[in-house]
Amino acid sequence: MLEELAALEPFRQEVRAWCRTHVPPDWRETQRGAGHDEFVAFGRWWAGQLRDAGWLAPHWPKEWGGGFTVAEQVVLAEELARGDAPRNGLYQVALYNAAPAIIHAGTDEQCRHWLPGILDGEVWCQGFSEPNAGSDLASLQTRAVRDGDHYVVTGQKVWTSVAMEADWCILLARSDPDAPKHKGITYLVVDMHAPGVEVRPLRQATGAAEFCETFLDGVVVSVEHRIGAENEGWTVAQTSLASERAVVILGLAELLRRNGVERVIADAGTWPLEDGQAAGDDPAVRETLAARYAEALVLRYLINDMIDGVIRGVDVGATSSVIKLMYSELLQGLMRDATDIQGLPAQLDRPLLPPAGWESGNWMLDYINSWSWTIAGGSNEIMRNIIGERMLGLPR
């Protein structure tokens, strides 16, 4: 991959120049403490900027507005992070969860029906987790009962990010209650404006409320809105995301290194300790932050290795579990360190910065928020099980 990246230096310079002229230099100031409507408006505007540049969906096939090689996607992710671009969280599910499933397992007609809408700004959410089916997702109980040319869906989903703004929801529902729990699940696309859909925001410890719980009471979903075969939804959900995950986590890791580790190192030079010296001059603090910087570099090397595997067509499933585990623990550890080192000033209540990543510079809230990453996408306990069973050959 290194040779490919070297050959892409002109593209790298193009993205770098674009960031200088299109990333608002004051977006952190203008968006800090922004209300919900302001955040949504900003997210839609930023997605429009990326769409106009042709960079909103680089991982999609060329006929749908993408066609970038993995190496080109790496360069784009690196330079957007380097240019301090806002996080495109409003469209994360649409671009990296819903669209790949539709492209990989859907029909041509379904691609024509939904993909242009995503590029035009439709928001999607993901209805997978339930109150009693989080890490053990296959235990989900939301029912989809077939009635001729449609399903009647009843149940409850939780942690449904951006559900309040969503136009569509990718949803897993149990269509055969007598099948083994990983079977009998169907992958559906639900209109979030349909009768019987109710969304309730969940206020988090940080004060944000992008997570929601979603209730479905007899919601009618056309069979034409099923992705893949009936009762094969688990396979659709598990097999459509591997290559997309690789570049997504690369972008997150770059943001964590640049806006997290390097920012804490810089800020520590201005934080006074009790004895009056700068925290950055204290040997123990320097050792702690040096270790975090080394972890960030190791994480990037692991991601590079995984991306090489994706390019070669190697199964990277268990490797992605290692990376997810390491990323979440580095994120949480760094935010805890930053909060401890800064001391009492870190405890001050400051406004949220919604378009930032999980490293907004508000270290206490970032630390609280970091716990979600040890749960989302499969808890760290589940990741350790996968690593033990699939990589180390340990018994279940």
Residue 135: the pLDDT is 76
Q: How far apart, in whole angstroms, are the C-alpha atoms of residue 144 and residue 122? A: 25
Q: Is residue 158 part of a domain?
A: yes
Same domain? 178 vs 288: no
Give the model's confidence band at 376: pLDDT under 50 very low, under 70 low, under 90 confident, else very high.
confident
Per-residue confidence (pLDDT) for residue 240, from 0 to 100: 58
Residue 364 included in any domain: yes
- In this structure, the answer to whether residues 146 and 31 fall within a common structural domain is no
224 and 252 in a single domain? The answer is: no
144/360 Cα distance (integer angstroms):
40
Q: What pLDDT does residue 244 have? A: 54
Token digits of residue 166: 């969503």
**Of the residues 183, 199, 231, which one is the last residue of a structural domain?**
231
Q: Is residue 113 part of a domain?
A: no
Which candidate in 72, 165, 244, 295 is catalytic? Answer: 244
b/e for 112-144, b at 16 or more Cβ within 10 A?
eebbeebbebbbbbbbbbbeebbeebeebebeb
Pairing of strands 124-127, 168-174: parallel
299: domain range?
A: 241-391
Give this prediction's pTM. 0.91
In the chain, the number of structural domains is 3
DSSP state of 347: G
What is the rounded average pLDDT of the residues 12-23?
A: 97
The more confident residue out of 100 and 1 is 100
Please state, rounded to an integer, the average pLDDT across all residues of the chain: 91
Q: Which pLDDT band, with edges at 50, 70 and 90, does 245 fall under?
A: low
Q: Average pLDDT of 158-185?
A: 94
Q: Model confidence over 329-371: pLDDT tens digits?
A: 999 999 999 999 999 999 887 888 888 877 888 999 999 999 9
Last residue of a domain, one of 20, 51, 76: 76
Average pLDDT of span 204-229: 92
Residue 306 lies in a domain: yes
Look at residues 231, 264, 289 and tell me which one is the last residue of a structural domain: 231
Sequence-distant (6+) residues with CB within 8 A of 186 are: 144, 151, 172, 173, 174, 175, 226, 230, 231, 232, 233
**pLDDT tens column, 154-170:** 999 999 999 999 999 99
Q: What pLDDT is stored for residue 350 in this prediction?
A: 82
Share of the chain above pLDDT 90, in %: 72
CA distance 170 to 163: 11
Same domain for 203 and 264, yes or no, is no
Q: Flag whether 99 is in a domain.
A: no
- Is the distance from CB of 31 to CB of 354 less than 8 angstroms? yes
Contact 204, 127 (CB under 8 A): no
Structure tokens at 136: 């053990």
| R_g of the chain computed on alpha carbons | 22
Are 178 and 252 in the same domain?
A: no
Q: What is the mean pLDDT of residues 93-110?
A: 94
Question: Domain check: are 271 and 202 in the same one?
Answer: no
User: Among 324, 318, 375, 323, which residue's Cα sits nearest to residue 129?
Assistant: 375
243, pLDDT greater than 70: no
At 134, the amino acid letter reads G
203 backbone φψ class: left, alpha, beta (φ>0; ψ -120 to 50): beta
pLDDT of residue 76: 95
Of 78, 56, 76, 80, which is closest to residue 66 (Cα–Cα)?
56
**Residue 112 placed within a domain:** no
Q: Do 167 and 136 belong to one domain?
A: yes
72 is catalytic: no
Q: Write down the residue that tokens 């094969």 correspond to.
A: 232
- 168 vs 127, 190, 193, 197, CA distance in Å? 10, 6, 8, 11
Give yes or no: residues 251 and 387 share one domain.
Answer: yes
Question: How is residue 250 written in tokens?
Answer: 């690369």
**Distance in angstroms (rounded) separating the CA atoms of residues 90 and 341:** 32
Residue type, 19: C
Give the CATH number, domain containing residue 206: 2.40.110.10
Output the domain CATH number for residue 336.
Answer: 1.20.140.10
Question: Which token pair is 69?
Answer: 């090689």
Is the pLDDT reported for residue 242 higher than 60? Answer: no
Regarding whether 226 and 247 lie in a shared domain, the answer is no
Task: Kindly state whether residues 246 and 373 are assigned to the same domain.
Answer: yes
Question: 185 falls in which pLDDT band (50, 70, 90)?
Answer: very high
* Both structure tokens of 151: 């399903």
- Asked, for residue 108, whether it belongs to a domain, the answer is no
pLDDT in tens, 129-160: 999 988 788 899 999 999 999 999 999 999 99
pLDDT at position 176 = 96
Task: Dig out the tokens for 267 from the structure.
Answer: 């800020």
Mean pLDDT of 308-318: 79
171: which strand partners? 127, 188
Tell me the average pLDDT across 227-255.
82
Task: Give the chain's length.
Answer: 396
Query: Is residue 261 predicted with pLDDT exceeding 90?
Result: yes
Alpha-carbon distance 137 to 146, whole Å?
22
In this predicted structure, the answer to whether residue 276 has a pLDDT above a threshold of 60 is yes
Provide the pLDDT for residue 4.
75
Q: Burial code of 382-391, b = ≥16 C-beta within 10 A, e = fewer?
A: bbebbbeeee
Within this chain, do residues 72 and 163 fall inside the same structural domain, yes or no? no
268 and 206, same domain (yes or no): no
Whether residue 103 is contained in a domain is answered as no
Q: Check whether 13 has a pLDDT greater than 80.
A: yes
